[in-house]
């Protein structure tokens, strides 16, 4: 099986041609090293430029800033193929689907010229740091502060669970430039912080349930001096910027979730066709067949929805609530598929040498990050 056998409507022939490029890259560059990187808990930075060279990083960046000026469909193709390949957590999608847009949409001309070409080429790895030890869902409660001191900010605080935290050269740090203002969200700004600045320190590469090859870290900021010109867009608008980019982040999570679920399903059909018990393939037991038929049904529904959502997003029609719904639904589906497929593997499902075990561990986070699924319901529910 491969993803191009599924009847889709979101993509053009160009998208599909790009899919082949991506797939080859994954097979050649990622797959042979995946196990090693998982053990290391990190993907070496040397991989990034290779992906960049193929146009896989930040394909939507305008040509004037070194990009290809393509649409989000190309991002989605990378996400799908990576997730289907099973080594989901390369951190590419964070850079391409999320971080880069902040720069494209709100960066100053200088910021764009400095950073965008390097994000595209893979010379620079980025991270975005919102979550803190004390607050995640409730971003307005963040306690990292940036006090103005001449033409610098002085940044203090700590962040945690930051994807690409070990690899990052550039970190978009969300912080409070005003801690007194009401409502509190008006005090949030986003600063571009180079990893080389004094006072910045990386904490542990966190030991997670899954997504072994993704580095996720604590970050510490002690009196880090950041030039005022490193503020993204306007001071005090950070919260608004965050809200504006979240639908695409959520759609991106939905895309990966759907594709990784499809992979688990395909693998499990193959496994249960091969594995025998009581004289017949496991697949021949009605319970197995019904379970898989049910999942296949939901995957069919999921692809149709994903294409609908992608089409809407490409037309800039996808609302924040629809994006939240996509994140919610596809990650819940992903989980259901993963857990039922693992079960159908029997004891093998519990062994990390099987892809299903790793995929299952990796999938557990998608109901949590990018805004927990409870927060998705909150967002949708508020607009009823």
Using CB under 6 A as the binding rule, the residues of this chain from 268 to 327 that contact ligand FAD are 275, 277-278, 282, 285, 287-288
Pairing of strands 280-281, 276-277: antiparallel
Task: Dig out the tokens for 183 from the structure.
Answer: 């409502």
Site track for ligand FAD across 325-354, x = CB under 6 A: ------------------xx-xxx-x----
Burial of 191 (0-12, 13-18, 19+ CB in 10 A): buried
Residue 274 is a binding residue for a second copy (CB under 8 A): no
Maximum pairwise Cα distance, the chain: 78
Q: Min. distance of Cβ 373 from a second copy in angstroms? A: 8
Residue 160 is a binding residue for a second copy (CB under 8 A): yes
Q: Min. distance of Cβ 344 from a second copy in angstroms? A: 9
* Segment lying near a second copy (by CB under 8 A), choices 78-86, 193-201, 203-211, 256-264: 203-211
- Site residue total, a second copy (CB under 8 A): 77
- The residue among 81 and 97 lying less far from ligand FAD, judged by its C-beta, is 97
- The residue among 318 and 365 lying less far from ligand FAD, judged by its C-beta, is 365
- The residue among 66 and 95 lying less far from ligand FAD, judged by its C-beta, is 95
The one of a second copy, ligand FAD, none whose footprint includes residue 147, by CB under 5 to 8 A per kind, is none
Q: Which of 31, 249, 321, 322 is catalytic?
A: 249
Residue 365 is a binding residue for ligand FAD (CB under 6 A): yes
Helix (H, G, I), strand (E, B) or coil at 143: coil
Residue 24 is a binding residue for a second copy (CB under 8 A): no
| Whether the Cβ atoms of residue 208 and residue 163 lie closer than 8 Å to each other | no
Residue 183 is a binding residue for ligand FAD (CB under 6 A): no
Q: Cα–Cα distances in Å, from 218 out to 42, 95, 160, 215?
A: 14, 18, 4, 10
- The residue among 131 and 189 lying less far from ligand FAD, judged by its C-beta, is 131
Using CB under 6 A as the binding rule, the residues of this chain from 35 to 74 that contact ligand FAD are none
What lies within 8 Å, CB to CB, of 284 at 6+ separation is: none
Q: Min. distance of Cβ 15 from ligand FAD in angstroms? A: 27
Residue 325 is a binding residue for a second copy (CB under 8 A): yes
Please state, as a whole number, how many other Cβ atoms lie within 10 Å of the Cβ of residue 314. Answer: 14
| Whether the Cβ atoms of residue 131 and residue 217 lie closer than 8 Å to each other | no
Nearest to 167 by CA among 44, 258, 17, 30: 44
Could you tell me the end-to-end alpha-carbon distance of the chain, in angstroms, rounded to an integer?
A: 40
Q: What is the dihedral of CA 14, 16, 17, 23, to 10 degrees?
A: 140
- The residue among 30 and 344 lying less far from a second copy, judged by its C-beta, is 344
Residue 88 is a binding residue for a second copy (CB under 8 A): no
Contacting a second copy (CB under 8 A), which of 53, 181, 243, 301? 301
Q: Min. distance of Cβ 221 from ligand FAD in angstroms? A: 14
Give yes or no: 218 in active site.
Answer: no
Q: What is the dihedral of CA 239, 245, 251, 253, to 10 degrees?
A: -60
- Please give the Cα distance from 242 to 371 (Å, whole number): 12
Residue 243 is a binding residue for a second copy (CB under 8 A): no
* Segment lying near a second copy (by CB under 8 A), choices 12-20, 42-50, 89-97, 340-348: 340-348
Residue 99 is a binding residue for ligand FAD (CB under 6 A): no
Site track for ligand FAD across 143-172, x = CB under 6 A: ------------------xxx---------
For residue 200, is it left (φ>0), alpha (ψ between -120 and 50) or beta? beta
Do you know the residue count of the chain? 384
Contacting a second copy (CB under 8 A), which of 50, 152, 208, 225? 208
* Segment lying near a second copy (by CB under 8 A), choices 46-54, 104-112, 114-122, 354-362: 354-362
Sign (positive or negative) of CA dihedral 232, 233, 238, 242? negative
What lies within 8 Å, CB to CB, of 317 at 6+ separation is: none
Partners of residue 127 on adjacent β-strands? 171
Residue 368 is a binding residue for a second copy (CB under 8 A): yes
Instruction: Please give the distance of CA 181 from its chain centroid, rounded to a whole number.
Output: 32
Q: Min. distance of Cβ 214 from ligand FAD in angstroms? A: 7
What amino acid positions are annotated as catalytic residues? 249
């Amino acid at each position: 099986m491969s993803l191009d056998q599924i009847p889709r409507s979101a993509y053009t022939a160009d998208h599909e041609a790009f899919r082949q490029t991506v797939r080859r890259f994954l097979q050649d560059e990622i797959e042979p090293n995946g196990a090693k990187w998982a053990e290391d808990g990190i993907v070496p930075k040397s991989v990034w430029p290779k992906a960049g060279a193929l146009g896989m990083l930040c394909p939507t960046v305008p040509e004037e800033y070194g990009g290809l000026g393509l649409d989000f469909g190309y991002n989605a193709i990378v996400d799908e193929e990576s997730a289907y390949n099973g080594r989901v957590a390369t951190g590419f999608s964070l850079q391409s689907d999320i971080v880069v847009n902040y720069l494209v949409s709100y960066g100053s001309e200088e910021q764009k010229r400095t950073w965008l070409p390097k994000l595209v080429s893979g010379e620079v790895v980025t991270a975005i740091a919102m979550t803190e030890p004390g607050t995640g869902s409730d971003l307005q409660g963040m306690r990292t502060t940036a006090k103005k001191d001449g033409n610098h900010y002085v940044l203090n605080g700590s962040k945690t669970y930051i994807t690409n935290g070990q690899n990052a050269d550039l970190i978009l740090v969300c912080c409070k430039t005003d801690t007194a203002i009401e409502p509190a969200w008006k005090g949030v700004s986003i600063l571009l912080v180079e990893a080389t600045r004094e006072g910045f320190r990386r904490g542990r590469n966190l030991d997670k349930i899954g997504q072994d090859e993704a580095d996720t870290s604590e970050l510490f900021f002690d009196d880090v001096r950041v030039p005022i010109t490193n503020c993204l867009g306007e001071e005090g608008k950070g919260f608004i910027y965050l809200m504006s980019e979240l639908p695409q982040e959520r759609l991106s999570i939905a895309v990966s979730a759907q594709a990784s679920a499809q992979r688990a399903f395909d693998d499990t059909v193959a496994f249960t066709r091969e594995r025998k018990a009581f004289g017949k393939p496991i697949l021949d037991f009605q319970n197995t067949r019904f379970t898989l038929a049910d999942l296949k049904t939901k995957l069919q529904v999921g692809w149709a929805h994903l294409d609908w959502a992608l089409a809407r997003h490409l037309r800039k029609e996808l609302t924040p609530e629809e994006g939240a719904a996509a994140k919610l639904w596809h990650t819940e589906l992903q989980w259901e598929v993963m857990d039922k497929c693992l079960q159908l593997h029997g004891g093998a499902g519990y062994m990390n040498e099987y892809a299903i075990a790793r995929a299952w561990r990796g999938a557990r986070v998608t109901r949590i990050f990018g805004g927990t699924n409870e927060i998705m319901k909150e967002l949708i529910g508020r607009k009823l």
